[in-house]
């Protein structure tokens, strides 16, 4: 990356940012961070924060900002984050973003580079609500883009395909609206700071990779 830099990938569920975050982290040799992984790691290591987070996660509730930020601060203080890192789906709120700015500053980082994966609702609906999973082997199909040979039946083991409750069209629509409401102020915040870039998350994966490369090369020159 550009010397020492924090990279943040934002985008709704189904935007493909997780895959790209993984590629970028690998190619730059920096950690790929998501709060979900950080929570699970803290719980499995039995740290103080892990013990505080575990009951909240078990109840399926949202982890409060102060705990999230403590976890983030602890994670960013580790040696592997010294040169940079790729955040995948964090921050989620304006409050988290401004606290993250303070942490970055205290660790000698400049402003993060923020890339928003913009995807239209029809594309996301197709990606998310087209998804069916094999109840036997867990294989994932998409009835629009990667359909099984026989409707509702897994090609490999004949297992019945099921749709997660989360992936039903009406639930997907609600998830996307909630995401929009929550992150609009966040993207406005980064846009005002001049650090927001947008990629077309609806494009083919190779095209998205190329767009990201261009943005990062531009950031290197500036």
What is the spatial distance between Cα 78 and Cα 56, in angstroms, rounded to a whole number? Answer: 25
Binding region for Zn ion (CB under 5 A) out of 98-106, 126-134, 197-205, 208-216: 126-134
User: Does residue 162 bind Zn ion (CB under 5 A)?
Assistant: no
Shortest Å, Cβ 144 to Zn ion: 19
Whether residue 175 lies in the annotated active site: yes
* DSSP element (H, E) containing 178: helix 169-192
Query: How many C-beta atoms lie closer than 10 Å to residue 128's C-beta?
Result: 22
Query: How many C-beta atoms lie closer than 10 Å to residue 59's C-beta?
Result: 8
User: Does residue 152 bind Zn ion (CB under 5 A)?
Assistant: no
Whether residue 177 lies in the annotated active site: no
User: Does residue 115 bind Zn ion (CB under 5 A)?
Assistant: no
User: Does residue 30 bind Zn ion (CB under 5 A)?
Assistant: no
What is the spatial distance between Cα 125 and Cα 217, in angstroms, rounded to a whole number? Answer: 32
Whether residue 168 lies in the annotated active site: no
> Cβ distance 166 to 159 under 8 Å?
no
User: Does residue 136 bind Zn ion (CB under 5 A)?
Assistant: yes
- Candidate list 84, 159, 201, 202; residue touching Zn ion; CB under 5 A: 159
Contact residues: Zn ion, CB under 5 A: 134, 136-137, 139, 154, 156-157, 159
């Amino acid at each position: 990356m550009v010397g020492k830099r924090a990279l943040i990938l934002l985008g709704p569920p189904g935007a493909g940012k997780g895959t790209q975050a993984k590629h970028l982290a690998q190619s730059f040799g920096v950690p790929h961070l998501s709060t979900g992984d950080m929570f699970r790691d803290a719980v499995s290591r039995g740290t103080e924060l892990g013990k505080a987070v575990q009951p909240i996660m078990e109840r399926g509730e949202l982890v409060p900002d102060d705990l999230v930020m403590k976890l983030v601060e602890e994670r960013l203080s580790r040696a592997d984050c010294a040169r940079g890192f790729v955040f995948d789906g964090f921050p989620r709120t304006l409050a988290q973003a401004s606290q993250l700015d303070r942490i970055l500053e205290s660790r000698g980082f400049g402003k993060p580079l923020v890339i928003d994966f913009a995807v239209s609702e029809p594309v996301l609906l197709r990606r998310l609500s087209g998804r069916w999973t094999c109840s036997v082997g867990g294989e994932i199909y998409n009835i629009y883009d990667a359909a099984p040979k026989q409707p509702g039946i897994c090609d490999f083991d004949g297992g019945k395909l099921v749709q997660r409750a989360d992936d039903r069209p009406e639930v997907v629509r609600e998830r996307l609206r909630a995401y929009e409401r929550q992150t609009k102020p966040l993207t406005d915040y980064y846009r005002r700071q001049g650090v927001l870039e947008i990629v077309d998350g609806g494009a083919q994966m190779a095209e998205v990779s190329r767009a990201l490369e261009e943005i990062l090369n531009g950031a290197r020159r500036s």
